Amino acid sequence: MTGGRDAAGGPAPDRQTVLPLAVQRPRDWNTARGRISLDPPLIVGILNVTPDSFSDGGRFVTLEAAVRHAGELVTAGAGMLDVGAESTRPGAARVSDDEEWRRLAPVLDGLAREMPAVPVSVDTTRSRTAARALDAGAWVINDVSGLRLDAAIADECARRGAGLVLMHSRGSVAEMATYDLAQYADVTADVARELEGSIDRALRRGVARGRLVLDPGLGFAKTPEQSLTVLRGLADLARFGLPIMIGPSRKRFLGAVTGRDVAERDAATAAACAMGYLFGASIFRVHAVAPTRDALAMAHALSAN
């Protein structure tokens, strides 16, 4: 691809993008409760049990609503559920770890009771919550701070053999989804270098390499154009030999490209996931599973040897 216009409408720099259709991806992921296949690609359904998440805040805060929606996500094609109880939207107020656990505990219990074979990850930046969640049946901890805010999360994962997602971000929980820290010399190289630091922290604390997954943090401390650049440059993360997860779902950079509001970005999300797969990702965290499932089925078929 050369020339054209960038996401803000100005001239885009000349570049040539080559899709690495033959990219080598890890075929599975070891977690606390078993091995998860990543071929075909894994869709992770988002289950927010918060009153203030940017896309679906307040919709699934009751146990009945949360478990019902989890079943809908799995029926639509999700192979894993990611449960979060604290919003990272710009300016969101932090909750205490006791409040975070008050929201999580009944949902994890309900999921373990109603769908025990479905892998569950818990989105948290706190080691105390991580320990409680893993003891309650979670397979994976998804740390959006990449062990920057509480490196003891790695200790809890190491003790239990849990999977651990290391996402790139900068700043506090309240800052990380803003553009306040979105200054990079080379965003692709800088994200890879900072995630390498997260990998080192995890390994030093005893997490086995085969239990790690990397997430470049699309939209986190990244402008729309920076998010597109990182997505285009996933090969810089593939060199670590770890599975890559992306979470483009309904984010602002999709709105910058399409002009659509949050609730109308599921088609763009599916397209971003399909392109992300061709660039090297194998795990996709989304709100709307069905369109992403179809887009990934096509991307997987086109890249098959």
Catalytic residue among 103, 222, 285, 293: 285
Catalytic (active site) residue 285: yes
In angstroms, the CA 100 to CA 305 distance is 45
Convert 244-301 into a string of H (helix), E (strand) and C (coil).
Answer: EEECCCCCHHHHHHHCCCHHHCHHHHHHHHHHHHHHCCCEEEECCHHHHHHHHHHHHH
Catalytic residue among 251, 252, 265, 293: 251
In angstroms, the CA 77 to CA 96 distance is 33
Residue 20 Cα to chain centre, angstroms = 21
Give which of 207, 211, 228 is closest to 219, Cα–Cα.
228
Using only C-alpha atoms, the chain has a radius of gyration, in whole angstroms, of 18
Query: Is residue 52 within 8 Å of 89, Cβ to Cβ?
Result: yes
Catalytic (active site) residue 222: no
Catalytic residues: 251, 285
